[in-house]
Amino acid sequence: MWHFPCMDILIVEDDDSIAEPLERGLTREGFNTLRVSTGAAALSSSPVDVVLLDLGLPDMDGGDVCKAIRLVSQVPIIVVSARGEEIDRVLLLEMGADDYLVKPFGFHELVARIRAITRRSGGVIGARDSSEFTDIGPLHLDRRSHQVTVSGEQVMLTPKEFELLAMLATDPGRVFTRTEIFDEVWDPHWYGPTKTLDVHVAAVRKKLGDPGWIETVRGIGFRIMEPIA
Among 25-29, 126-130, 187-191, 219-223, which range has the highest average pLDDT?
Answer: 219-223
Candidate from 20-24, 32-36, 81-85, 190-194 with smallest mean pLDDT: 190-194
Domain 8-120 has CATH 3.40.50.2300: yes
**Across residues 29-42, what is the average pLDDT?**
93
The larger pLDDT score, comparing residue 35 to residue 161, is at: 35
User: For the whole model, what pTM was predicted?
Assistant: 0.54
The larger pLDDT score, comparing residue 146 to residue 35, is at: 35
> What local confidence, expressed as pLDDT, does residue 133 receive?
82
Count CB atoms within 10 A of the CB of residue 176.
Answer: 21
Q: Where in the chain are the domains?
A: 8-120, 133-224
Among 53-62, 93-102, 177-186, which range has the highest average pLDDT?
Answer: 53-62
pLDDT digits (tens, 9 = 90+) for 74-115: 788 999 888 767 777 777 777 888 888 888 788 888 888 888
Candidate from 129-133, 185-189, 206-210 with smallest mean pLDDT: 129-133
Would strands 147-150 and 153-155 be described as parallel, antiparallel, or unpaired? Answer: antiparallel
> What local confidence, expressed as pLDDT, does residue 75 receive?
86
Whole-number Å distance between alpha carbons of 110 and 127: 16
> What local confidence, expressed as pLDDT, does residue 74 receive?
78
The CATH number of domain 133-224, selected from 3.30.470.20, 1.10.10.10, 3.10.310.10, 3.40.50.2300: 1.10.10.10
- pLDDT grade for 229, boundaries at 50, 70 and 90: low
- pLDDT grade for 3, boundaries at 50, 70 and 90: very low
Q: Tell me the percentage of the chain whose pLDDT exceeds 70.
A: 86
Q: Do domains 8-120 and 133-224 have the same CATH topology?
A: no
